[in-house]
Amino acid sequence: MSGDLGPRVAISAAQKFTAIFADVDILLVGDQQQLLVLSSAKQLSNSRISLLNATDVITMDEAPLQALRHKKNSSMWVAIESVKNNLAEACVSAGNTGALLAIGKHLLKTFSGIERPAICKFMPVEQGQTYLLDLGANTNCSAEHLYQFARMGNVLASVSKSAPRIGLLNIGTELTKGTEPIRDAQDLISSDSRLNYCGFVEANKIFSGDMDVIVCDGFHGNIALKTMEGTARFIAKKIQRIFKRNWLTRLAGFIIWPLLKHLRTELDPSMYNGASFLGLQKVLVKSHGNANTKAFMQALIVAREQVIQNIPARIQQELSNQSLSSQQ
């Protein structure tokens, strides 16, 4: 029900998503009357899409503590609770990030050994893919928190690559650079023989593909993410303006249009929508607040993949293995 564009985006995405993936059912949570009207307008008649009524909505500017205390009838609370009660295997929301984190942590709980969930998503890079975390859940992080993020990111990246390369986002690559928590985190990560730690990473190397996991606190991670999204849109607009200047540039644009279309697809932020809260005991995915149908579908794809890959159980297993190792 929330997000910048409201429930119509979720409904449209659900319709297209179930048409592509036959192994998924969708539970739309929100004001049933509004959902029925919008569903009828979109001629939605899919037996694999059902509605779950929730009478309240958490607004985008609502304080997380306020939502946690007083919005138990909200669509966000009911949706996450459905995952807790095994009515669903994952929750996807484009709503208030702070409220999503607070309610998710309250209802779904973190694993023992994980103090804070971290928002994580994969980024487009020169080769392969790079996971970046945390992207905004934790603005202030200790060295221990960053170490925990590295361990969770390692589990996620290990699904597709053995011994994923892990780096710490910093203002330089020298060992003396960065804040005390970052330098201390490097000591913790590098001393764990199960992690393939490869050193500090500067922001201009995020897209190089040199690292499979890049760890940072949520303040700098969110700034990096928003800068990337803004830069991609800036480049796209610049290219459009260049090829509209005169008939000659229009002709040139027409000739190379297939290449430009491919580039636009690769740099489109909506193709990388969907960030997961790693560390929670169930799958919870945050969609961008202004996501359109294509972007919301991508967030659904992320949720489906994490359920299939059983990421929470993998993280729990990794933590259990470490606990056993420390006792021996």
Q: Check residue 26 and give its pLDDT.
A: 94
DSSP-assigned beta bridge partners for residue 92: 285
User: Taking the alpha carbons of 72, 52, 80, 97 in that order, is the dihedral positive or negative?
Assistant: negative
Q: How far is Cα 104 from Cα 324, in angstroms, rounded to an integer?
A: 28
Helix, strand or coil for residue 85?
coil
Q: Check residue 325 and give its pLDDT.
A: 53
Q: Over the chain, what is the mean pLDDT? A: 88
Residue 101 has pLDDT above 80, yes or no: yes
Q: In 3D, which of 148, 178, 154 has the Cα closest to residue 166?
A: 154
Mean pLDDT of 280-302: 93
Alpha helices, DSSP H, located in the chain: 7-20, 32-41, 64-70, 75-84, 97-108, 143-158, 180-190, 218-242, 247-255, 257-267, 293-308, 311-327
DSSP-assigned beta bridge partners for residue 121: 132
Q: What's the CATH code, domain 120-271?
A: 3.40.718.10
Q: Check residue 181 and give its pLDDT.
A: 94
Residue 41 has pLDDT above 70, yes or no: no
Angle between helical axes of 180-190 and 143-158 (0-180°, round to 10): 50
7-114+279-314 and 120-271 share one CATH topology?
Answer: yes
Write the DSSP symbol of residue 42. Answer: T
Q: How far is Cα 79 from Cα 75, in angstroms, rounded to an integer?
A: 6
H or E, element range at 197 = strand 196-201
Per-residue pLDDT tens digits for 149-207: 999 999 999 988 889 999 999 999 998 898 999 999 999 999 999 999 999 999 999 98
DSSP-assigned beta bridge partners for residue 166: 197, 213
Task: Supply 36's token pair.
Answer: 């029925």
Residue 112 has pLDDT above 90, yes or no: no
b (16+ CB within 10 A) / e for 210-228 = bbbbbbbbbebbbebbeeb
Count CB atoms within 10 A of the CB of residue 258.
8
H or E, element range at 130 = strand 129-133
Per-residue pLDDT tens digits for 228-278: 878 877 877 887 787 787 877 777 777 777 776 666 666 666 677 899 999
More confident residue, 127 or 211: 211
Q: What's the CATH code, domain 7-114+279-314?
A: 3.40.718.10
Task: Supply 292's token pair.
Answer: 């359109």
Q: How far is Cα 100 from Cα 2, in angstroms, rounded to an integer?
A: 11
Q: Is the pTM of this model over 0.95?
A: no
Mean pLDDT of 60-71: 92
Helix, strand or coil for residue 305?
helix
Helix, strand or coil for residue 248?
helix
Q: Where are the domains of the chain?
A: 7-114+279-314, 120-271
Mean pLDDT of 14-31: 92
Q: In 3D, which of 111, 76, 81 has the Cα closest to residue 1?
A: 76
> pLDDT above 70 covers what percent of the chain?
92
Q: Check residue 44 and give its pLDDT.
A: 63
Question: Could you tell me if 288 and 272 are in contact, meaning their C-beta atoms sit under 8 angstroms apart?
Answer: no
Assign 1 a pLDDT band (cuts: 50, 70, 90): confident
Helix, strand or coil for residue 196?
strand
Residue 326 has pLDDT above 60, yes or no: no
How many whole angstroms from its chain centre is CA 327? 34
